[in-house]
Amino acid sequence: MGIVDGIDGLLQDKIIEITEDNFSTYRNLGGIDFLRRSRDSLRSDAELKKLHEVCQKHSLTGLVMVGATHTMTDCAIASQYLLQNNCTTNLVVVPSTIDGNIHHKYIETSIGFDTASKLCSQLIGNMLTDSASAIKYWYFIKIMGGKTSHLTLECALRTHTNMVLLGEESEFHGETLNDIVGRICDRVHERAEAGKNFGALLIPEGLLYSIPAFQHLFDELDRVVSCSADHAATIKRLSSDSAFLSESLTPQSLALFNQIPAIFQKQMLEERDDGCLRISAFETERLLQHLCGEELKARAKQGVFKGKFGPVTHYFGY
């Protein structure tokens, strides 16, 4: 039996029989687009009650869930609920994450990370070839991975890009955004002096979470929006009412927010899921490209930087 549309489909009882015929065109091609997926949420009383009803209705002896830490937590909660309600359905989780953030002595490996690193590395390799061929572009490449930099590091080890940023490393050294921008510009400057006005930089999508000031800003905005009854109305008010924005943030977070160009302020407010920032949708690569461009212009005016800087941004995402 296959559950269409993930957890949402499970709660709506969208269950089909998987046969040789209906699965034939998906065989050996991954198959996630056969059943599809949805958000992970299996924790409320209503959701757990519906799960119980579906399992009983179809006499399911087992339910296999594929996912990462959130799915594992859902499974633990759901297992306990089914046991307490005398349901004999066994729940099994197949660890699956491109982030590479599941580690346990009883888990040999997880699905996804190896595939994602090989696929992204192939794309990065194409960018490196293009960079060395055109000799006029700096590629700012953002890599998926949530708040961890494991995938970014693996891709860097496979492709040997000119520079890689790691959130964990920035956090360890207590770097600010200006520190990171300065490091990138130093690398661009160094290559320009060698006559190489091109290169490639890998950026983990959760980089900004490694900077304490940004983490506080994100947390404060998440709290304001998540705790409101109407998320859309609150986001609109934060965007249009400067007084409300000032009241909602601490002075430090407000100062940081006001330093960010307007287009990125808009993303920070509007790109949300259940009230929380969708970090994958925030264009960190474009923010860094913009700030590096401004810094290099300043260095050029001072007569320090004499090279050329032609940035191009990419996001190898989900």
Q: What is the dihedral of CA 214, 227, 75, 209, to 10 degrees?
A: 0
- Residues 6 or more apart whose Cβ sits within 8 Å of residue 299: 185, 189, 305
Please state, in angstroms and rounded to a whole number, the distance separating the CA atoms of residues 207 and 209. Answer: 5
3 state DSSP class of 276: strand
Catalytic residue among 13, 99, 241, 274: 99
Alpha helices for the chain (secondary structure H): 6-11, 20-23, 32-35, 45-57, 69-84, 113-134, 150-159, 167-173, 177-193, 212-226, 231-240, 242-248, 251-259, 262-270, 284-301
Whether residue 287 contacts residue 100, with contact meaning beta carbons closer than 8 Å, is answered with no
Q: What is the CA radius of gyration of the chain?
A: 23
User: Of 58, 116, 45, whose CA–CA distance to 87 is shortest?
Assistant: 58
Contacts of 41 (CB under 8 A, 6+ apart): 7, 47, 74
Q: Is 252 helix (H, G, I), strand (E, B) or coil?
A: helix
Give which of 72, 91, 71 is closest to 81, Cα–Cα: 91
Are the C-beta atoms of 198 and 134 separated by less than 8 Å? yes
In the residue annotation, 222 being an active-site residue is answered as no
Distance CA 195, CA 251 (A): 44
Catalytic residues: 99
